[in-house]
Amino acid sequence: MSSGAGDAFAAVIECRGLTRRFGDRAAVNDVSFEVRPGELFGLLGPNGAGKTTTHRVLTTTLEPTAGTAKVAGFDVVRDARRVRDLIGVVFQEPALDDRLTARENLHLHAVLYGLRPRIAGPRIQEALEWAGLSEHAGRPVRTFSGGMKRRLELARALLHEPRVLFLDEPTAGLDPQARRRLWDQISTLRRGGLTAFVTTHNMQEAEACDRVAIIDDGRLLAIGAPAALKTRIGGRDRATLEDVFLDLTGRALRDDEATPRERLLGFGRRGGELTR
């Protein structure tokens, strides 16, 4: 496990023995790691490994059962409010109001984060341009493609200038073009000095990270730069991150029961009432 203690910079994200249990099952089990300033950090793991649980603890919507986590220097439990002020979050499924326009969604975000109106107006315009959505600003989000929704969410997560950006499986369900565009945008942000924490099970995406942590069954299995992991664990020339991943997590299929969210989504896709 890498230690940031000797670094010149304080860690932006710091987990110490982080554990979250649901009943008997530990979704996250004694996980410790640090994310340095300006890093693009990937949390890689199969379905049900504990990625989303970690994401939720770090974004203050789930309390850890044991251990501590700090984001931007603040404890996620004791100083949850300060943490919330300083982070931007993109969720697995779009968390937009489908009946509101792109601009209205951004405006609501600006109010929730307490942006002053004189600042919010121009910044919303800037965000729409950055996301390439200025021409669609007045359209209800329900008419948007998956890629457009993602771009809007990313622009929204940045509207209040967060110190740390959290992305939970940001490219799930996107076509290759939209996927590429999203990663280009995330890379641009890194050059601006933003720290980003991305959960993913996509190997190509993990390759783009400065460092990745591989998690399975709630336990941290390995952490390091993709190249270092390939030599250390892949152990042979031309090992891919996918080899490393499969070596560590095994080849068994991960079948899970449908969660309430998945059942609800299925209901929505079948055209159920009150799902818009």
CB of 31 to other proteins, least distance (A): 19
| CB neighbours of residue 77 within 10 Å | 14
- Near other proteins by CB under 8 A, which window of 57-65, 205-213, 217-225, 249-257? 57-65
The 8-class DSSP code of residue 234 comes to I
Q: Does 7 bind other proteins (CB under 8 A)?
A: no
- Near other proteins by CB under 8 A, which window of 153-161, 199-207, 222-230, 235-243? 153-161
What one-character-per-residue DSSP string does 174-207 give?
Answer: --HHHHHHHHHHHHHHHHTT-EEEEEE--HHHHH
Both structure tokens of 48: 């049900």
220 touches 213 (CB < 8 A) = yes
For the purposes of burial, counting CB atoms within 10 Å of the CB of 194, is it exposed (0-12), middle (13-18) or buried (19 or more)? buried
- Selected from 159, 215, 229, 241, the binder of other proteins by CB under 8 A is 159
The 8-class DSSP code of residue 15 comes to E
Rounded distance between C-alpha atoms, residue 161 and residue 159, angstroms? 6
CB of 109 to other proteins, least distance (A): 7
76 touches 52 (CB < 8 A) = no
| CB neighbours of residue 263 within 10 Å | 11
Look at the block and give the residue holding tokens 């993709």.
226
| Residue numbers 95-114 binding other proteins by CB under 8 A | 95-100, 104-105, 107-109, 111-114
Q: Does 36 bind other proteins (CB under 8 A)?
A: no
- Near other proteins by CB under 8 A, which window of 44-52, 89-97, 200-208, 218-226? 89-97
Q: Does 183 bind other proteins (CB under 8 A)?
A: no
| CB neighbours of residue 9 within 10 Å | 10
Look at the block and give the residue holding tokens 């720290």.
195
User: Mask 213-252, x = binds other proteins (CB under 8 A)?
Assistant: ----------------------------------------
CB of 85 to other proteins, least distance (A): 5
- Near other proteins by CB under 8 A, which window of 85-93, 175-183, 198-206, 230-238? 85-93
Look at the block and give the residue holding tokens 């600042």.
119
- Selected from 17, 25, 161, 227, the binder of other proteins by CB under 8 A is 161
Binding footprint of other proteins on the chain (CB under 8 A): 12, 37-38, 59-63, 80-81, 84-86, 89, 91, 93-100, 104-105, 107-109, 111-116, 119, 123, 126-127, 130, 140, 155-156, 158-161, 163, 188-189, 192-195, 260-261, 263-265, 267-268, 272-275
